[in-house]
Amino acid sequence: MLQILAGIPSLVLWMLIVPFCVGLLVNFILPRSRRTVGITFILGYLVYMGIFEVVAIACMTKVTYSAFTYCRKIFIICVAVLAVAGIVRSVMKFREGEKNYLALFPGEAHADVFDLMSPRSNPGFYKLDYSKETIIMWVIFFVIMAFQMVMAVIMASFDGDDAYYVVESLLAQQADVMNTILPYTGTSTSLDMRHALAAITMWIAFVAKESGIHATVLSHSIMPLFFIPLVYLVYVEIGRVLFRAKQQVIPVFMIIVAFLLMFGNVSIYTPATFFLMRTWQGKALVANLVFPLIFWIFLWMFEEAGSTPPPNRREKEWEQPRRDWCPWIELFFVNMLSGMCSSLGVIFGSGLIALLTLILLVYTRKVRVLLGAMLCIVPNIVYLMIYFSLIG
């Protein structure tokens, strides 16, 4: 217990502060109305994990000895530079007094008369006075989420996959290797391509090493406390798009989602079962984090496509390209996270994106949709090229 308490500052640093600071650096790609704390953190987390995937794959394929040490050092340098740059940029923006640089959440940014008159303005992203009933609903949702987090820790389940995935993280933490020792036997082997490119186990090992917490304890008792709120944050953003004109409905939507996930254990293979019982596993993150992220980004693009009138004179010239390309750029990093979690995420994620892109193409009748889809799918293509080149 003392070891966990001593590691809390490192956990907060590497799982919350650093990703958010990276987001502060890159959130300039976001449209002004979506530049909130929640979306900034999601964007920063995606970039943060994308950097780790690149560094981890490079180290495990090119470094023979002490690969994990090299991975840790290179990754720390990369994200530290980006995080510091994000902090510096934020300080400069606040000193310049830039309005609406970062809102706590949609509804905190006040709209002026020009925002309200703009044909592209979304009223759901500006100041909203929640009723007492809405506040009560939010409290009920947070109580349910807290209950799930507590139960995920004190009723942690164990399954056969832990003997492989968790041990891979533990071997990296204690033996300084990256997928070159068989977890079942402890014998040395060549790079295990069956699981190597799914580098989520190595990221867990990185957090375990930096915090000093045993990788098994981190996987079963700490990761659910991080990933469960992150998944619900994505669903909140989905709700903000679905109920753009009725933001008071969002907490009701979140309560329904929470109950569906909590009582979705109708078999051992449902996404809800994996969400609460195997939260730390890559396949669970693909089903419960990556796929909702894909749906959210496409809902975002459908919403933007519905705002067809041109921007008013007050909006800057680069705001329109930002609205058009920002979702595709974010989807690019979602695909990197998908490959980092599971090779199945690369295949199924690509298929889901292809289907939704076809629907978006029919809806918008704009050829640039195909260009954006080809751009965002590049990580999946590179992932498959690396996989087949190494496995052959």
Tell me which of 314 and 356 has the higher pLDDT: 356
Q: pLDDT band at 338, cuts 50/70/90?
A: very high
DSSP 176-187: --SS-B-TTT--
- The Cα–Cα gap between 69 and 73 comes to 6
What does the block give as tokens for 39? 């979306």
Look at the pTM and tell me if it is higher than 0.75: yes
Q: Is the pLDDT of residue 13 over 90?
A: yes
Q: What per-residue confidence (pLDDT) applies to 325?
A: 84
| 3-state secondary structure (DSSP) of residue 36 | strand
Q: pLDDT band at 129, cuts 50/70/90?
A: low
- The Cα–Cα gap between 363 and 352 comes to 17
- The Cα–Cα gap between 4 and 211 comes to 8
Q: What per-residue confidence (pLDDT) applies to 267?
A: 85
What per-residue string of b and e applies to 215-236 under the rule 16 or more CB within 10 Å gives b?
bbbbbbbbbbebbbebbbbbbb
Lowest mean pLDDT among 124-133, 193-202, 283-292, 352-361: 124-133
Nearest to 69 by CA among 210, 266, 273, 195: 210
Q: pLDDT band at 105, cuts 50/70/90?
A: low
What does the block give as tokens for 220? 């079963």
Q: pLDDT band at 331, cuts 50/70/90?
A: very high
Q: What per-residue confidence (pLDDT) applies to 371?
A: 92
What percent of the chain stands above pLDDT 70? 86
| 3-state secondary structure (DSSP) of residue 103 | strand
Q: Is the pLDDT of residue 117 over 70?
A: no
pLDDT digits (tens, 9 = 90+) for 161-190: 788 889 999 999 999 999 888 888 888 888
pLDDT digits (tens, 9 = 90+) for 240-282: 889 877 878 899 999 999 999 999 988 888 999 999 988 888 9
Evaluate whether 40 touches 30 at the Cβ level (below 8 Å): yes
Q: What are phi and psi of 269, to 5 degrees?
A: -110, 0
